Amino acid sequence: MISFDDFKAGGDGPVYLQIIDYIKRGAVAGTILDGDELPSRRVVSALLGINPNTVQKAFAILEEEGLMESRTGARSCMTLSPQKLEDLRIQLLSKDIRGITESLKAAGIGKDEALALISRYWDGTQE
């Protein structure tokens, strides 16, 4: 069963998008696996202190994207093929890299300086 114990609402964007991002990042990190069951929409709603319709919206989008499956009278389960996981990893990394790139540009840092900065962190020589 997927746990929402460490989910923290209040970040950027609507809560339903934060739920989707939480689940996608968990899948990419390997903490959420193919076949894992999700708590019911009502349980997630109560755990997070949010409207059940918000959870329903998040789950519906995950279903549309083919990342989870719900059956009447049964629990919802994740459907994470290796190809879906790879696509998800690329999607999330692209979003993160785009944000970092925009921040570096806004700070007036050029491409060469940005690459040098990334290299220092990559190599562990920067704290």
Domain range annotation of the chain: 1-80, 81-127
**Range of lowest pLDDT (37-41, 58-62, 123-127):** 123-127
> What average pLDDT does the structure give for the chain?
91
Whole-number pLDDT of residue 127: 62
Whole-number pLDDT of residue 65: 95
Residue range 1-80 forms a domain whose CATH class is mainly alpha
Whole-number pLDDT of residue 70: 87
Strand 76-78 to strand 37-38: parallel, antiparallel, or no bridges (unpaired)? antiparallel
Q: Per-residue pLDDT tens for 43-76?
A: 999 999 999 999 999 999 999 999 999 877 778 9
Instruction: Judge whether residue 126 has pLDDT over 90.
Output: no
Q: Are residues 75 and 40 in contact, defined by beta-carbon separation less than 8 angstroms?
A: yes
Q: Are residues 62 and 2 in contact, defined by beta-carbon separation less than 8 angstroms?
A: no
- The tally of CA atoms less than 13 A away on the side-chain side of residue 100 is 11
Q: Where are the alpha helices (DSSP H) in the chain?
A: 15-29, 41-48, 52-64, 82-106, 111-123
CA distance 16 to 118: 32
Q: What percent of the chain has pLDDT over 90?
A: 76
What is the mean pLDDT of the segment spanning 102-127?
88
Q: Are residues 16 and 52 in contact, defined by beta-carbon separation less than 8 angstroms?
A: no
What is the mean pLDDT of the segment spanning 86-99?
93
Count of CB atoms situated within 10 Å of the CB of 94: 10
This prediction's pTM: 0.83
Whole-number pLDDT of residue 74: 74
Instruction: Please identify which residue in the block is written with the tokens 């562990």.
Output: 124
